[in-house]
Amino acid sequence: MTSSPSNALSGIPQELKDLFSWNPPLLVPRPFPGRKMSTKTREPAFFDKHFTKELKLLHVKRLPSLAHDIATLVDKTIIDSFNDGVQFPPSDALLSARQLNSIVRNVGRDKTDEKAVASFYDKTTALFCAPIASTLALRLSDWDTLLMWTQSANVYGYAIAEGFLQVAGPTDLADKEAQLKEIMDEETLRLFRSLSTRLASLVTNEFKNMAAGGPEVMLAIPNLSNSPSFDWTSCDAPECASATNHERERKNVAEVSVGPDAENTPWTFDSRSNNLTSLSNPETVRPQPPTLPQPREIGEIARSSNIQGFFSEDVGTSKAVKRKRNNGSSDESRASSSLSILGMLLMTPQANFPLTPEASSVPKGPELRNSNSSRIAAKIRKADDSIDVTQSTSLMLPPLPPVGSVRAETAFPRGEGKGKGKAVVKGKVQGGGDDKDGDDENDDPSYKDSHDLSAQFIATRVDGSIIVLQSGNHEFIGIRHRTTQTLYISDLIEPHACRDPSYGKLHVGIYIAGIKDALDRERQKHDAWPPDGGNGPSGSGGGKQGGPSGGSPGSEDKGNRGGGREGGRRGESGGSKKSKKNKYRGGTVRKMATIAHEMAVKSTLELASGRNVILLYLQFGIYDSSAPSTFVRSGPIGHPTPLPSRETVRNYQLEECLAVVLKSEIGHGATGQVLRGTLEVEASECVSLDVAVKLALASEQRKALRDEYKIYHQLRSKGVTAGITTPLGLFEDVEGGACILVMPYVGAPLAATPELVLPISYREAVLATLVEIHDADILHGDLIIRGCALIKTQKIVNVQSFHLSSTDVKLAIGASRRKGYLLQRWQSAPQSSITSKWMYEVL
């Protein structure tokens, strides 16, 4: 006999009730000293512009009942478990309300950027909700989580920091093997392992800081649902159909699996959504998305006075759009024109509205000026001017140009169109330069920075269904419906003001929904595989809806089995006998793919080491340099060599240059900023490389960076390569005033995981590296936690940052003779007083 819902819900532990009534605090924007908070959003990636018709977003629709449905799922999960006789595990491992609040206080409320917002979510909401959702959904006998929230995507080389909910790794699953076999049938356990193995994304998060995702911006998002269709930003380069790099990107896109939609979901669509025409035929008329149910009277989310009723026609709509409506032009499709999805979402108004009294008083940056001698500001050109690579835009990080200024756009744009010819730059007026009062349609948030790398792109690449769009104090939940190519969005959520349900319960529901959605879709993929262990549903052609293959994590289409792109794996997970032939074939393909990739990386490094010109772009935060800064390789021991003449540099062909696009900031150091980006070499046998770039602007920093490069050069000449990163070179700005040290990015600094306890083998490897460094007559002098990177694949710690190293043989001698002397010699170094205690505590 089943019990009443009230009995089941009243019996939950008090700690669960505390979490189900928990809301995070109101976060406070905190600009960096002397800098305004970035309000800029991302442009669509080169990859996303080449999406096939099946992958593009066609519609944005509201689903007001979504949050209520997800919260109801939590109650249903508890009631079903109660009716099945499943008892809650002991609550002593759960966090009390007091502990929840203590953790939140220790994390702090002042947040500088989207990374800080993501970190707050990781250290609070994800920490609190993952074990609860894991235990409730999987009916575990304890509160240990089998979910992992991470900022590492399951797509190789995808270098943006967002958030992903994944199943715990194989090692953690193995620890729970006995318990999982008791609570799961064989098929479900097999599916769960598959999700873990390929790092499937159960929930995809995208974060913006509170300036880029403020209420004005977020409230404009639902207005996109008024348009009959969403205008996707596609590649419009003239050479798109013929250029090699465009063709290569189309092949990469072709490997992305659309996958099925879940058959059973907690949210409600109209019944017509299940009677859909196939989208595989481009001639087929695409169905309209399901009609949405009316908003419910219960389950209101953040119904505060400042946002209540924001779906009315005028609330959240700018005066520019209103004016156009009054003028008789009601074509709202322009509101989404060229918006890479959720440019809708997180479109950025150029107007710098004050965030707090303190934020509004931050001094403005230097104004742009036309200067050939300074790299501190971008150059302003006339619309029909052309400039060569030596007259490129500023390397320094300038503020955004005002409306009406000129923005240079190069014929060698970031990540695309790198053909033959010279890097000729064209001027293009940006914004509404013809509007005297600056109050034209381009001032509307719906038009600003319309190229945003959105959560829809990310969810498509990682094959996710549930998307959470967050900017600290404002949030949307999105559902990606693959068949109709529609993004459904909830009403606006204010995390700090959530009620019925509260934020904690809502996100437990999101995590449970993510588990159920992923298992549902994974089961459909497995059911689609033929019983003979052969090809996928599309036969030898390998259709796009097959199951996970034997390729790299997150790439469902690589590692062929049985001849198709996504050939079946019934031999491993189905009911038929194992096919050794297919098994070995899949392993061989993976090994060959790995070898091919390693060879391509090696070839790229070799070619990059021989090229002397770098075209450097900035594409992160508020920075978006359309034309590159030009850098020329420095001398072999770091001394600045006479720079080539402008005529010499001007004659470099694009295929003779390296393109480096800086996409994020790793940190600051004694030699300046450390940035992360991608390096591209124009050659068919090459691949894009993940690189770290040290950027030195001040004279002292440039000197320190050159000295550091000399140390690297000496180490390489002495044959010391293990455990350190060999730079690709030191490059000088052709106009003076800056230099960069470019090296492969090998991993995150150990400072990112300060609580990490290194295994003995790792520590011994660090000591062995230091011994080799000392044998080369160099004393490192600055072994600190942020100067070392963990390379898990090689099980080593990479020693970096040689800016304090000494070539004084008297200091180094003896340290190489015995490891026991290492710490003693380290302590005798003059730099020891300014280094951290990590050397002593960890090693």
Three-class DSSP labels, 122-138: HHHHHHHHHHHHHHHHH
**Length of the chain, in residues:** 843
User: What residue type is 240 in one-letter code?
Assistant: C
Q: 61-70, 159-168, 641-650, 808-817: which has the highest mean pLDDT?
A: 61-70
Comparing 195 with 442, the larger pLDDT belongs to 195
pLDDT of 408-452, one tens digit each? 233 233 333 333 333 333 333 233 333 333 333 333 433 333 333
Residue ranges at the known binding site: 694
pLDDT of 320-329, one tens digit each? 333 333 443 3
pLDDT at 528: 56
| CATH number belonging to domain 368-444+610-745 | 3.30.200.20
Confidence class for position 319, pLDDT limits 50, 70, 90: very low
How remote is the C-alpha of 529 from its chain's centroid? Answer: 32
* Bridge partners, 325 (sequence order): none
CA 246 – CA 546 distance, rounded (Å): 26
pLDDT at 783: 65
> Residue holding tokens 């009243």?
10
What is the end-to-end Cα distance of the chain in Å, rounded? 61
pLDDT at 466: 92
How many Cβ atoms sit within 10 Å of the Cβ of residue 597? 13
Asked whether 783 and 770 are in contact (CB, 8 A), the reply is: yes
Average pLDDT over residues 115-121: 89
pTM for this one?
0.48
Q: 5-19, 134-148, 650-664: which has the highest mean pLDDT?
A: 134-148
CA 475 – CA 205 distance, rounded (Å): 10
Confidence class for position 358, pLDDT limits 50, 70, 90: very low
CA 135 – CA 441 distance, rounded (Å): 51
Mean pLDDT of the chain: 65
Residue ranges at the known binding site for ATP: 694
Confidence class for position 612, pLDDT limits 50, 70, 90: confident
DSSP character at residue 779: B
pLDDT at 58: 79
Residue 829 has pLDDT above 60, yes or no: no
Query: Can you tell me whether residue 156 is helix, strand or coil?
Result: coil
Q: Which residues belong to CATH 3.30.200.20 in the chain?
A: 368-444+610-745
Average pLDDT over residues 40-50: 60
Q: Which residues belong to CATH 1.10.510 in the chain?
A: 749-843
Maximum CA extent, the chain:
88
pLDDT at 152: 73
pLDDT at 742: 92
Which residues, other chains included, contact 526 with Cβ-Cβ below 8 Å and sequence gap of 6+?
A: 187, 190, 191, 194, 547, 573, 574
Query: Can you tell me whether residue 115 is helix, strand or coil?
Result: helix
pLDDT at 62: 87
Q: Does domain 749-843 sit in CATH 1.10.3300?
A: no
Comparing 561 with 732, the larger pLDDT belongs to 732
Residue 239 has pLDDT above 90, yes or no: no
Residue 757 has pLDDT above 60, yes or no: yes
pLDDT of 507-553, one tens digit each? 999 999 999 999 998 888 776 544 444 433 333 333 333 333 333 33
User: What residue type is 333 in one-letter code?
Assistant: S
Count CA atoms within 13 Å of residue 207 on its CB side.
20
